Structure 1
Amino acid sequence: MESPSKTVFISYRRNVSWALARYIYDKLEGYGYDVFLDVATIRSGKFPEKILNQIKYRSHFLILLTPGALERCTEPDDWVRQEIECAIEHDRNIIPLITGDFRFSDYEEVLQGNLAELSSYNGLLMYPEYVVEAVERLHREYLSVPMPFATENVSRRDLQLASENKEAVSTEPIFRDEEVEAEGHWIRGVIYMNLGDLESAVSEFSNAVLNDATYVDAYIDRGSCYTNLGKPQLALADFNRAIAINPKLSRAFNNRGIAHAMLEAFEAAIDDHSQAIALNPQNYLAYNNRGMAYYKLGDLDAAISSCTRAIEINPYYVAAYSNRGNVFSDQDKFDAALKDLDFAIELDPNSIGAYNNRGLVHSKMVNLEAAIADFTKAIEIDPQIYISYYNRVGVYLRMQDYQSAVLDYTSAIDLDGEIAELFSGRGIAYAQLGNVTEALSDYEKALELDQFSTDALLGRGCVYRETFKLDAAINDFTKAIDLHPNDRLLATLHNERGLAYRTQGNLKAAITDFYKAIEINSIATDACLYHHNLGLIHMEQGDFETALKDYSSAINLCPQDIDNYKNRCVIYIKQGDYDKAWNDINKVMDLVPNDAENFFNRGCLYQSIDDILNALNDFKRSIQLDNSYPDPHLYRALLYEGQKKYKKAIRDFERYLRKGGGEKFGNRGLIQSKIAELNALL
């Protein structure tokens, strides 16, 4: 019976790829495979027979193809040649692991006779910067092929050799102390790079190019390290050197595209990724990266097309699903986005990017608890990545959980205290909590890090306005406007400055700013607010006709916003147009049927047309819905007074005072006098 066998033989050229072979050995052993990797300490006695027997009795044969791996295979007694021929003869599952700048075309003289078949096997590309992912794919796809495995033919001597081999591998260091040539330095660098020690990797790659100034892979991989270290200019220099040496390397163009994207040169990035694809149409990394460059330029259809092609080439490539899901989300195709991101997480339950992207989708869908859960999972996987805290804080702000927002901003700042946006964001959260001192301190720190931070100027300006430091507020808003931010933020700044001018009493300047905000930003929810603010000023000026136009415009933009109906209703009442007033108040009641203030407002409308019974009923209902609301007590008291029901009137006046109405409207003394007057009538 055939079944997937977890027995593996790794063939490699020791002087050029021992470290990488050992790395793969350790990873596969971690997946539960029985792996044979020969080492010098067991090469005694009948060595070829021992090794070849291990190949015969193992289902899978991995041949590590790095530059130089096949150079001595023209010699009949070469170990690597004998191992390959044995695997071919016994029909093992042969998997070439193609690394670095290895090309079969460079070894046409070697690949003769039995070795000619080697290039026909389905190989796995192992880009140095993605070795971890490649080994995962090797485990998941390539080693799952059912193979016959006859354990009864394995001799006791062979089993003993396998056991001795494991002990020998475990005791031999990954890096040898003897002199290492260029290839050895490159391999060391690859291992360091996959271990996350980028500085050591850079040092090894530098040693490689010192030994061989034309070592293309060392330039490419050093450039990749520079990219990950946030040094895209140094990376570009290395990629340019590599391309100058060999202009037909897909990987060099792909990685240069990444560096260009870091520098926001997205057109150049697309050109590089396209060249990488032209050189190697199976380079799924280049398709994915080109998709992200298209995304940054706003070409979402092209982004999806490129990510989809990456998935077609490699159906297990997590990043492509995660990125395509993110693009679908921007197109408001949330079901498609979630399908991609769910599958990405199924493929890799530790994908921080997929959890973050899915959290952003849930946030857009207003599934806030689900969003919090995804961002929290990303943080649990790796609490050292600030972007997960930053994403979660956005949801906390929407939930108005400002204390949690402060905590997450603080965690992000602890990880990277040089990002102005984090300080300005925490300043906003502090301001919402009423912690003015802390908010101003954070805005100052943000401006210290980035004097052109429009977010910090906006936030500080709002704090100044709310603390009636109006000149300082207007100054901050003006500075931010002069920095010419994006249209939406620019419109917000004009609106906020308009509010400051209104508080200052400069209504003409306020109106100018609100109209400017409307001109800049036509997004419905934003423009609705600007029309609303214009309506307030025109009402204050007694210009009711213009105010009606303002509120009607706001209602057309946001038909679910009840405040504009309420204010328009007030104007209709002042104008005696009760039919239109009723239409607006009924619309409000339909939108929010159990709101104390709405019943109070309708009660006032009933009162204005002398429908006392319905007015009393609405005031009663308002009190039932919110027993802390003082206003309906005052108006009901006045109705009771008009009906000469003085005891009920006195009781409502007293309740009005107990609930803070006197302080709210500054009429405590007047109400107390009214109570005394009514008591005298009893």
Structure 2
Amino acid sequence: MNNEFYNKGLELAQQKDYTKAIEAFTHALQEDPYFAEAYRQRGLAYYDSGATLQAVSDYTEALKHNPESVEAYYYRALARLTLKNLPGALADVDKAISLEVNYAAAYHLRGIVRRKEGYIQDAIANFKKAAELYLKKNDKEKCRQCLESIKQIQPKEYPAVKPSISTPAPIISENEYFRTLLEKAEKGDTKQAIDDLNWVLQVDPQDGIAYCCRGVVRCKQGNYRDAISDFNSALRLNFKDAIVYRNRGKARSQLGDHQGAIADYNQALQMQPEDVLIYIARANTHRAMSNYYAAIKDYTQALQIDSDNAHAYYNRGIAYTHLEEIQHAIEDYQRAASMFCEKEDWQNYQQVLNSLKKIQSSTPEVKNAKYDLLRQRLLRMVGGYWEIAQRLIEQKKNYYPGMSDEWYLQTVIDDLERDRGR
């Protein structure tokens, strides 16, 4: 086999000319589509150039042709970590270590993943193992880096948020007035809304609704600590409404207290189990914690309550992207884009289109024209409800495992056409 293009790609990658390196590796793969190492090296070039999704795709292709490639598992784990797909990164680095038990870099990477997942002691154990292996190789610099990582994550004590002074029983003010103030803040005049609410609380320092409203406005200002103080005051004044817990959850999430935020959302859902905004807020926090499966579950629950919520589709698409479930992500982005377009919400419409364009341009497999045509045809046949199509496809997969995606689409289409012809 002629390795001219492959060797040229290595040379260009060494020179950090990643665009030309990718072209050279692509030529090498045109000559030999089973060249696993060329896929891996092109994946490295994609990763170094910032095209992380394409890097993951190439590492996956390399593993199809060489499933024992320790390096492909390691570098795919690194790319998945960049995408914040922690479960995928952990699975890959575990596989790399199972193939090579003395792989120091893999232990160090697993320490990073476990630290991000919140398993500090497990992270420390992996950093220690990596340090021991680097020391055996006389790599003192990397050994020192591992020890520094351990030092940085030793458990520390953090001061709790100082509660505000409690006040006696509540006096409820007129809801219409507060709704006007919140509308004022929504339009951007948060300072005037705060001034008005301060005046209300000077007149009546026991008004729980006023504290809640001021907390909401302070959240809009990004003043999350003072917002939490206001929500705490509202609760102490027995204004224990779901809106207080939901907004305090948002503030806590913004400050990094994700577990506290989840607790608040859970409390809010006990009061309002059909509130779409709470499910979306909790899903956003799960996503911030890289708990994408829980996030998708909450976005889906929100959509079961309100199937026209474009924000839920868009955010679920983001979660699917992190899990590399690209087709699901594209479906959600497309639905969100259609909804924003119908509402003439052009800002969100453009944001979704940008996300859709990015994921389509970075994922080679979505460019398969035949697959797209079949998929659109099936989608029309089931009235635009992809969930129905997906169930039919899964049934075929159970009966006929191991076939191509195009085969499953065509088979379901044939079945539907035959049934309708009867």
Normalising by structure 2, we get a TM-score of 0.42
Give the structure, 1 or 2, with the largest relative contact order (CA under 8 Å, sep 6 or more): 2
Normalising by structure 1, we get a TM-score of 0.26
